[in-house]
Structure 1
């Protein structure tokens, strides 16, 4: 089965400020089907000749030879047929939403707050938020997503570090996502991002 992106569907409207985009993804599958092949010309001709000879011997007439030739050719053609299995590629396509990271901290913070408050948020936006905070992006806001959101919101305004204590910054594509003096929370977020297929690094300030 071959999976490939066929095209990007331009179905987003201006009022929908999604970070991600819709894409059409297709699966190409080889589907078997039966095909009957006729006998080879040589076999049909051979059957006709034999049928013609036998027809003339039995009837002693040319008409019998002709009838025998026809019957012999038909029998040879039918007996020479065989059923073979062929394969044909069938393409099945579906439109899916591919999330992307929300780069505006204020937008992300508002989305997280709305989700935490139980307000209605579009599924596409939920997937963008989940992708950004490093949890599975299924569009369903469950306990795992809420826990990640709580940690993220807590790290948006980290407490002032003690003198001499290091500050850790989580970076994605050279952009600082969040900073904290708690290295364990940074490692947990990095692990969640890795599970979501996002490469990140922790920088010590």
Structure 2
């Protein structure tokens, strides 16, 4: 709990001191403790340390939580540590975490970041109860890969799903990704149209 508290305060130095004290005193860190130390380093932007502690957690034989995997994959996407993420993807499948939504969303970002949009879309299609983060992960992947038509098609699919009673609506991230994609592709008229639609949707209110 102390490590979680330091994590909330973005105090990785004291979090590490408590963690190392626990190990010296032969307290075995549980999955909550490991997840807290990972989250703390992620929030403090010490991303390489997240990879280091994640590796240590796996070597220790401790159970890896879904939350820890989500943090790990998000950091891999930011660092461009794609090979590392793909190796752990196999662990996710074997360990039964494949249906854990946050880790799957983060893994979709990982594949999208390296331009593997086909793999990213496969992951997206496997998600049963898609939240807006799931949709954003793939829409952003398409935009970053220069596949604007695919991004717009997925955006339309999101709107159609919402019309059938699914309470998942485009948020600011969704709209700005689409608008950014239109701008990058030189489609100013489309960009303006989506900006107007975003204002009409009242997502900014």
Higher helix share: 2
Q: TM-score, normalised by structure 1?
A: 0.25
More strand by share: 1
Give 1 or 2 for the bigger CA radius of gyration. 1
Name the structure, 1 or 2, with higher relative contact order (CA <8 Å, separation 6+): 1
